[in-house]
Amino acid sequence: MLNNKRHILETLKGIKKNSITRLQPSFVLGKGFHYKEIAIEKFEEQVKFLENLEKMGIVQAKEGMPILRCNFCNNFNFSVRFNCVYCNSSDIISGVAIEHDICHNVDFEDKFLKSDGSLKCEKCSTDLDAVGVDYAKMNIFKCKACNGISSKVEQQYTCFTCGKTLMNADVLISNLADYLVSPLALSSYIDELEYINPIVEELDRIGIKSVFPAVETGISGTHHSIDLIAYDNYDKPILILETLESINDTIDNVENLILSFIGKCSDFKISFKILISLFELPQYLTNLLEINNIIYMEIHNREESSLDIVQMIAELFNNTSEGTIIRDEK
């Protein structure tokens, strides 16, 4: 599902429609942990999905439920076996035991129980009176191999996912995070999905691979979030596209957004850089884009302009020469 934008869109719309502000994992019998609002079958895929949303600022992780994880594969499904702390044998039994205060004999309760229901210590042949008077009760583990008795055992974990065996000290303790939802960022991303999804589907139909949203590593090693990336036949990025959406931004903020995009573009050896704007930019900013070989396209209706954007990208892919194109949709 992580690559199925339509399912992602429906999931996010459901979160928005139901006014969900906090996503919490719950335990489902026969299934394990699950975020019930996320329509993804595997819990690990749910976590990846939410981590991607966090990178985009749509949700924010908060400390949640502590769980044990395998330090080899990071999964949390285990088979647990108890081992004797003295000889490491797994042939142990457990139960309620009695410790006689006088002779310090410790054994299971049935070893003290007489036929009439009273208690007697087999070690010193003394009848027992009452808990807290001359004996105490506790839970113990008794090893059949070495006859050792202890109030604790060594726990051995076998991971169902990778098959590795871990002892207590090897198991990681981590948290299943709760995620707080940002309604504003959620609404904005839903709008973006509804706008870009038809573009991606049409590009795919004509044989151009593209991904949105994307996180790509630049030459500097910096990770950049990008609205859409298209790839060549060798799976190398050949085109990046971003959209300026808010017409309510101050001119200073618009300048900062454009300078940020220019900086992002400079971190890639990439043929085509496209900036789509939902509002008219001042001439000096379009000049700035042109100087930096960034294609600028102004649109007034995102849905109706999807085909124009696809046609432009297709033309760029068919034309290997680089150049600056400035287009206005009237």
Domains delineated in the chain: 85-152 (no CATH), 190-328 (3.40.1350.10)
For residues 299 and 304, give the distance between their C-alpha atoms in angstroms, rounded to a whole number: 9
Q: Is the pLDDT of residue 246 over 70?
A: no
pLDDT digits (tens, 9 = 90+) for 10-31: 889 899 999 999 999 988 877 7
Query: Which structure tokens are listed for 56?
Result: 């985009």
pTM to 2 decimal places? 0.50
The pLDDT-based confidence of 295 (bands split at 50, 70, 90) is very high
Residue 2 has a pLDDT of 42
* Residue type present at position 172: L
Q: Is the pLDDT of residue 288 over 90?
A: yes
- Residues near 162 by Cβ (< 8 Å), separated by ≥ 6? 70, 72, 73, 75
Residue 128 has a pLDDT of 92
Q: Is the pLDDT of residue 293 over 90?
A: yes
**CA-closest candidate to residue 241, choices 221, 266, 213, 206:** 213
Residue 320 has a pLDDT of 53
Q: Distance of CA 205 to CAs 69, 179, 261, Å?
A: 42, 35, 28
pLDDT digits (tens, 9 = 90+) for 212-233: 878 888 999 998 888 889 988 8
For residues 77 and 168, give the distance between their C-alpha atoms in angstroms, rounded to a whole number: 15
The residue with tokens 């709008």 is 191
Residue 330 has a pLDDT of 37
The residue with tokens 């108890």 is 82
For residues 193 and 304, give the distance between their C-alpha atoms in angstroms, rounded to a whole number: 15
pLDDT digits (tens, 9 = 90+) for 123-174: 999 999 898 899 999 999 999 999 898 888 888 888 888 888 888 777 878 7
Where is average pLDDT lowest: 49-53, 151-155, 242-246, 272-276?
A: 242-246
CB-based contact 279:299 (threshold 8 Å): no
For residues 166 and 241, give the distance between their C-alpha atoms in angstroms, rounded to a whole number: 47
For residues 294 and 241, give the distance between their C-alpha atoms in angstroms, rounded to a whole number: 10
CB-based contact 99:133 (threshold 8 Å): no
Q: Are strands 295-298 and 272-277 parallel, antiparallel or unpaired?
A: parallel
**CA-closest candidate to residue 262, choices 236, 234, 286, 246:** 286
Q: Could you tell me where the DSSP H helices lie in the chain? A: 5-17, 43-55, 183-205, 251-266, 283-291, 302-318
CB-based contact 172:124 (threshold 8 Å): no
Task: Return the percentage of the chain with pLDDT > 70, whole number.
Answer: 92
pLDDT digits (tens, 9 = 90+) for 46-101: 888 898 888 888 999 998 888 888 888 877 788 888 899 999 898 999 899 999 99
Q: Is the pLDDT of residue 303 over 50?
A: yes
CA dihedral 305, 308, 309, 312 (to 10 degrees): -160
